[in-house]
Structure 1
């Protein structure tokens, strides 16, 4: 239960709980992927079962779809939904302008498609995900399997002219074999340390043959909810230019999340 969670998981939980305020009856909701987004799915499932909330969820990965169905959320495809009221997802990094690095869980392509097909994108994160400048977290780039080594060489060559500190590029592995995304692609992780011009890098990467999408989310996020280990939450809305703070109490009797795995 929340009272027994580590500080980092408490931070994720309160951010997810606060994000539920953005969801109203009848909405079509994009459901993110990752440990923080899993807290959100559990919280929304509780509202569906106990409060009669009626929503339709569009998941950004097969594992999110499985969890959503497990907790009682109606799952539909993006083609069925056509457009979404809100997408709520985590992030691997975010900066002061709410630009993001996403894709640590390997779902960046579907996450970006769903996020951009929404009236609003809300990011939920623990305070450790905030950075002064993007790039400490490896930047994922989804590439097609055909000729991926050539694509990697092109990426490495291009990084020479980019404003970055590091240029190491590695193929993401799943044990002894390459990691495969839900769309059947591979992921190159770019170890850049610092990204001086994220907008430029995102545009250049996506112009390369073989690159499907990159994990830089520029001008997509509308608000970020930052969770702290003591139950505090901070909500930054970049469009309204507002910052709100609140604190959520942990209920010792609430054991809904005791079996949630990261």
Structure 2
């Protein structure tokens, strides 16, 4: 079955498989959203089923919750967990300081809440997501529907004084209708091309009325696990400054390769 996977899916799989090793029995685990995080959920589900791993998962979206239950992970709310041992999630971009852009899947609000309520955040990704400077991937900001066009105008005006290369803003759509988040909000995608000062931009955007949260994750990620299509894995820890290299083999009979629709 693994021979049917594309190199990018293999990279996502080995990153998820390596990150799953950080999860220990009895942990409360934040479960991210997106295609790479879905691999992680499948890996943990396999460990629950085959190895007797006992964990409680806090999903960051409705679709992650559905998948977690399908693979046998006990799902609880963040209010029930109160605090998490670890959160494992993907990213749309990351830089050398492990600052991130997230929100391509529209779940960055819950993802940021869960990640900051954790002792440790691990990001699983492939090498294509690493950038020298954040901003090539559009930066999502979640805004309330009321007055969203006014909020957009305020953001456009503010970007004039920010260290960014582009200032195009688009309302995220789902077909002919605006995309709606799990909280019932809209998303504005900021096509900035380059963000010179992510910390400043994140603070300024979040001060605007109508803005709920932005997709910049600054000083939140502790470790990044980078997968490659040939099975190589690199683990970078920002706190210790260490870099580890590993290689994972693909198992032809692995049940994880079934039901890949995510």
TM-score of Structure 1 vs Structure 2, range by shorter chain = over 0.9
- Measure how far apart 1:176 and its partner are: 0.4
1:31 Cα offset (Å): 0.0
Q: Equivalents in 2 of 1:167, 1:174: separation in Å?
A: 22
- The CA deviation string for residues 224-257 of structure 1, in whole angstroms up to 9 with x for no partner, is 0000000000000000110000000111122432
Match of 2:118 in 1: 118
2:77 corresponds to which residue?
Answer: 77
Q: How does 1:240-255 map to 2 (within 5 A)?
A: 240-255=240-255
Question: CA–CA distance in 2 between the matches of 1:131 and 1:94?
Answer: 6
In the alignment, the residues of structure 1 paired with residue 34 and residue 139 of structure 2 have an alpha-carbon distance, to the nearest angstrom, of: 16
Structure 2 residue 137 is the aligned partner of structure 1 residue 161: no
In 2, are the aligned partners of 1:2 and 1:13 still within 8 Å (CA)?
no
Matched, 1:196 2:196: yes
Rounded to whole Å, the distance in 2 between the matches of 1:211 and 1:239 is 31
Are residues 1:142 and 2:168 paired?
no
SS in 2 for 1:9: helix
Separation in structure 2 between the aligned mates of residue 57 and residue 124 of structure 1, nearest angstrom:
17
Query: 1:105 aligns to what?
Result: 105
Q: If the length of structure 2 is used for normalisation, what is the TM-score?
A: 0.99
Distance 1:255 1:147 in 2: 47
Q: Is the 8 A contact 1:57 1:73 kept in 2?
A: yes
Partner of 2:25: 25
In 2: Cα distance, 1:73 partner to 1:127 partner? 29
1:131 aligns with 131
Aligned to 2:11: 11
User: Is the 1:95–1:133 Cα contact (8 Å) retained in structure 2?
Assistant: yes
Number of equivalent positions: 262
Question: Conserved in 2, the CA contact under 8 Å of 1:233 and 1:246?
Answer: yes
Structure 1 position 67 matched with structure 2 position 67: yes
1:46 paired residue number = 46
Which residue is equivalent to 1:239?
A: 239
Cα RMSD (Å): 0.6
Unpaired runs of 5+ in structure 1?
none
Unaligned runs of 5+ in 2: none
Supply the distance in 1 between the matched residues of 2:204 and 2:257 (Cα, whole angstroms): 42
Q: Secondary structure at the match of 2:19?
A: helix
Is contact 1:2-1:255 (8 Å) kept? no
| Aligned-partner Cα distance in 1 for 2:256–2:183 | 32
